[in-house]
Structure 1
């Protein structure tokens, strides 16, 4: 007999595994990469209309939320995620496009920026 392998299987519930601790860690609904002076974030948001999606930039954090109600089925679909960036972003140059269920957000780096934070020495 094979053991269940799905993350929601009852035998795994209550175990202190990283996938349970961090919720949707390893989720594949988004891709974030850095290229030529900007971050590019793509999110899969199927079933939402462009007007359902809200983006907000707040002190180094991009907030993405979406709400859609299917009137005929009485269902409400919601999405919310926050992304923190390790470099200063030129907030006036952030741009977004939504096409065929894919949201693409480009976040250009602020001029002359380096990674934020305090360096931590590594001993060894």
Structure 2
């Protein structure tokens, strides 16, 4: 497994387990605002890898998921404005702007044509299936003659 999480710090133990690329760990994870990046869980089973992004308050349409040269990028941009109604006097108006971008290097053993995603209850779930040749083969018993 070589899903790699890039961050603005030296790679931690989890990154080393996922075969981190030391040359580019500062490239692709950033927030355009002073907010924190959403937390991410990476899971694996026999058939797939799963990336879960905690992003409550967003809508499906706020996300952009791209695969480019084995780099999976999840990004979002959300603007909220409070527009005054007719005959309203605004003494203070606050705007909300949230954006983030997270990138992960996909291992060669994934089928990037079959990646799927869903957003439910504040969690964006991305399913990344493995190629057939990457799946473990069943144990084969050899008969002794």
Is this a same-fold pair by TM over 0.5?
yes
Q: 1:47 to 1:28 in 2, by over 3 A?
A: closer
Aligned to 1:80, which of 89, 92, 101?
101
Quote how far apart the aligned CAs of 1:33 are.
1.3
C-alpha contact (below 8 Å) 1:40/1:106 kept by paired residues? yes
Higher RCO by CA contacts (8 Å cutoff, separation 6 or greater):
2
Question: Which protein is richer in strand relative to its size?
Answer: 1
Deviation at 1:48, TM superposition (A): 1.3
In the alignment of these two chains, the number of paired residues is 96
Gaps of 5+ in 2: 1-6, 15-36, 83-93, 136-145
Q: Who is 1:21 aligned against?
A: 9
TM-score by length of 1: 0.66
Residue-by-residue CA offset, 1:9-67 (whole Å, 9 max, x unaligned): xxxxxxxxxx97349x9887110011022101111011211100000011211100001
Q: Secondary structure at the match of 1:112?
A: helix
SS of the aligned residue for 2:61 comes to helix
Alignment of 1:104-119 (within 5 A): 104-113=125-134
- Please identify the structure whose Cα radius of gyration is greater: 2
Supply the RMSD in Å over aligned alpha carbons.
2.8
Matched, 1:91 2:91: no
Distance 2:67 2:52 in 1: 16
Tell me the residue number matched to 2:77: 67
Matching residue of 2:141: none
